[in-house]
Amino acid sequence: MREVITAPRSRRKQGIGRPRRIDYPRSGRGGVRRWVPSWRLSLGVFLSLVGGLLGLFAGVYAYVDVPSENAAASQQANVYYWADGSPMVTVGSVNRQNVPLATVPVPVRNAAIAAENAGFYTDSGVSLTGLARAAANMARGRETQGGSTITQQYVKNTYLSQEQTLSRKAQEFCIALKLDSRKSKDEILQGYLNTSWFGRGAYGIQAAARAYYGVGVAEVNPSQGAFLATLLKGGNAYDPALGESNRRRAVERWSWILDREVELGMLSPQERAGYTAFPEPREQSLDNSLSGQTGYLVDLAKRYVKKQTGLTDADLDRGGYRVHTTFDRNAVRELERSVEGILASGLDPESRAEDRFVEVGAASVRPGDGAIVAVYGGEDATRHFTNNADTAGVPAGSVFKPFVLATALQHGVRGGDGGVRSVSTESFYDAAGRLSSRLLPVDGGRQTLPAPLAAAERFPTLREAMASSADTPFRKLGSDTGLKRVEDMAVGAGMLRSSMAPRDSEFALGTSSPSAIRVANSYATFAGGGLRYEPYSVTRVLHGGAPVEGLQQPPARRVMDAVVALDVTSVLRDAARTTVASTAQNALGGFAALSTGGEETQRAAWFAGYTDRLSTAVTMFRSPPGKPLLPLEGTGGEDSERGSVFPARIWSDYSAKTEASSSVPAPPSG
């Protein structure tokens, strides 16, 4: 029998006699040393941990792909510009206007790189120390922010949420690595500068340059660029307008960024020496407000763009459009000042009930091309939502009569024998209702006035009837000419067919209700020698740097002979002499205009006229909310001619100022 030798029980418990995969606690050691792992075990654990982490990272890296851009990251504002190219207003929930990197001056780019990521052009798009710092901060219960590269910040701005969690940080890290291999550094820098927040509601370097310095980023100098780079750290903490502590931080960081640029070789010491004074930003601007007249201007431009291009509200709400308008900044301001000044000096709504609910609408159109230069839509677009310059429902009254006269001069009138008789500005209706003329033919086809008639024998000519706002001659003239022809002439000159009233016996006296814009545009046809131009408010629209199609202006259309337009202008010049103050007449030089009279039942007062540079129409009416127009009797007191003096004063004050101003360009020649 073989003898079986076994180890003692104590040795079996210690595992002696059989190998162990992990020699821990260590065999053959006693005391404290028994619990100290060997170098082999320590190395193995370390390598296993590293391998596990690398495997985990590989899995996460493979799983995480570059997502689509956030809607907010791609959303931009729409920017509307004055006629001179300066920005008028930024409209949209996100104040951002993306620009190509080439538009951003190199010193401005360098300032951002020096401030945020000096090694941007050489790194892999990520910062391991930043990720480690985020993990450590997370373990301490702090925010994970800090240490991100420009690429990582771009990823956060464009592809991820703004939450500060370790998982989001890991996503940011993986996406940044992939993005760095897919996009060029310039593309990433461009995206970063266009998506970063700079305070004052400005997203992107272009909006920031506008918000803080009132210029486009292309005009920002290196010192200003260094200040804008400080805002990348946090606009609310570095905007000097928000407190002295903010200003102190901004100055310190601005100076540090310039010094850092010198250290990195981005700026020479000599250039740095030229920037010792802090580039104070301007006061926070309210340019993005739609208050005052701005809301009316934007609404006009927006509706015109939609009509001409086919763009929808949804398209425009996505943003990114640059809308260049025809509106002249100074003309808009002068029109607003004239309206408010004249009304303030002549109305007293506190003590006179007839002065309440008074509304004014006005518009200026440039003869020769139809550009809408200025409008007055009401007291404030954020409180009075209807644009008084572009609303129907206000009867034109006597300012419609020139179109009756133009129709008669163009087509003649039907005679009793069925034939057509020519009409001149010196024609008149006698007691029997027959149309006669004081002009007699002489040699060479010229005409002249006969000897003056005695007062008892004299009837007012059409010229005189226009100046005195007489109704009977024009009621008869419209009937004899044909009301359909009168309507066609008014519509051809620029009024809308939809604003025309029924062709009854009062039609020729102005029962139609065109807007102030359309009256101004129609009078511009007289100023333009009978050539009609469609009114427009936008010259061009850009999206992504490319022009939007559909904004080409239709060619002019002749609606009356040039001699007819000149005759009407001659009549309106005579009529204007009795309604425009002599001081304004001296300032204006040549002009033609017409005012409504002071009829007892009138519910609107108008004044419309033109110079070579502008055709302007002003209307005043009383409009209680939700109720029909009220009569103007008593409005402005006994001497106001039922309100008719106010549009004339507004027109005269405004026209004299704009005529003296060089900001409103003359109409195109030819």
Q: Provide the pLDDT for residue 336.
A: 97
The C-alpha atoms of residue 374 and residue 363 are separated, in whole angstroms, by 6
DSSP class per residue in 519-563: HHHHHHHHHTTTEE---BSEEEEEETTEEPS--PPPPPEE-S-HH
Average pLDDT, the chain: 84
Centroid of chain to Cα 69? 26
More confident residue, 61 or 485: 485
Of 31-35, 236-240, 256-260, the range with the lowest mean pLDDT is 31-35
Of 247-261, 284-298, 380-394, 477-491, the range with the lowest mean pLDDT is 284-298
Tokens of residue 200, six digits = 């004052």
Say what percent of the chain tops pLDDT 70: 78
The C-alpha atoms of residue 641 and residue 634 are separated, in whole angstroms, by 8
The C-alpha atoms of residue 209 and residue 105 are separated, in whole angstroms, by 12
Q: If pLDDT is split at 50, 70 and 90, which confidence band does 313 have? A: confident
pLDDT at residue 14 is higher than 60:
no
Q: Provide the pLDDT for residue 449.
A: 52
The residue extents of the domains of the chain are 100-273, 396-513
pLDDT at residue 417 is higher than 50:
yes
Q: If pLDDT is split at 50, 70 and 90, which confidence band does 54 have? A: low
Q: Provide the pLDDT for residue 63.
A: 45
Of 45-54, 323-332, 639-648, the range with the lowest mean pLDDT is 45-54
Mean pLDDT value of segment 14-29: 63
Mean pLDDT value of segment 653-658: 92
CB distance 648 to 619 below 8 Å: no
Q: Provide the pLDDT for residue 437.
A: 79
The C-alpha atoms of residue 149 and residue 253 are separated, in whole angstroms, by 18
Q: Provide the pLDDT for residue 626.
A: 80
Mean pLDDT value of segment 155-168: 65
Mean pLDDT value of segment 418-445: 78
pLDDT at residue 356 is higher than 70:
yes
Q: Provide the pLDDT for residue 180.
A: 80
Q: Provide the pLDDT for residue 1.
A: 44
Mean pLDDT value of segment 362-370: 96
CB distance 629 to 635 below 8 Å: no
Q: If pLDDT is split at 50, 70 and 90, which confidence band does 588 have? A: confident
Q: Provide the pLDDT for residue 61.
A: 47
pTM of the model: 0.74
Which fold would CATH assign to domain 100-273?
Penicillin binding protein transpeptidase fold (1.10.3810)
Mean pLDDT value of segment 115-127: 86
Q: Provide the pLDDT for residue 580.
A: 75
Say what percent of the chain tops pLDDT 90: 52
Q: Provide the pLDDT for residue 485.
A: 97
Q: What share of the chain is helix, strand, coil (3-state, %, to 5)?
A: 45, 10, 40
More confident residue, 145 or 158: 158
- Name 622's bridge partners: 358, 630
The C-alpha atoms of residue 251 and residue 280 are separated, in whole angstroms, by 10
Which single residue is written with the structure tokens 């991100």?
Answer: 148
- Phi, psi torsion values for 373, nearest 5 degrees: -90, -40
pLDDT at residue 581 is higher than 80:
no
Identity of the highest mean pLDDT range in 5-14, 150-159, 543-552: 543-552
Helices (H), 239-276: 244-263, 269-273
pLDDT at residue 558 is higher than 90:
yes
Q: Provide the pLDDT for residue 344.
A: 94
pLDDT at residue 50 is higher than 50:
yes
CB distance 615 to 609 below 8 Å: yes
pLDDT at residue 451 is higher than 60:
no
pLDDT at residue 190 is higher than 80:
yes
Q: If pLDDT is split at 50, 70 and 90, which confidence band does 601 have? A: low
Q: If pLDDT is split at 50, 70 and 90, which confidence band does 635 have? A: confident
Tokens of residue 346, six digits = 């002549």
Q: Counting every residue, how long is the chain?
A: 670
Instruction: Tell me how many helices (H) and strands (E) the chain has.
Output: 24, 20
Q: Provide the pLDDT for residue 309.
A: 94
Q: Provide the pLDDT for residue 312.
A: 86
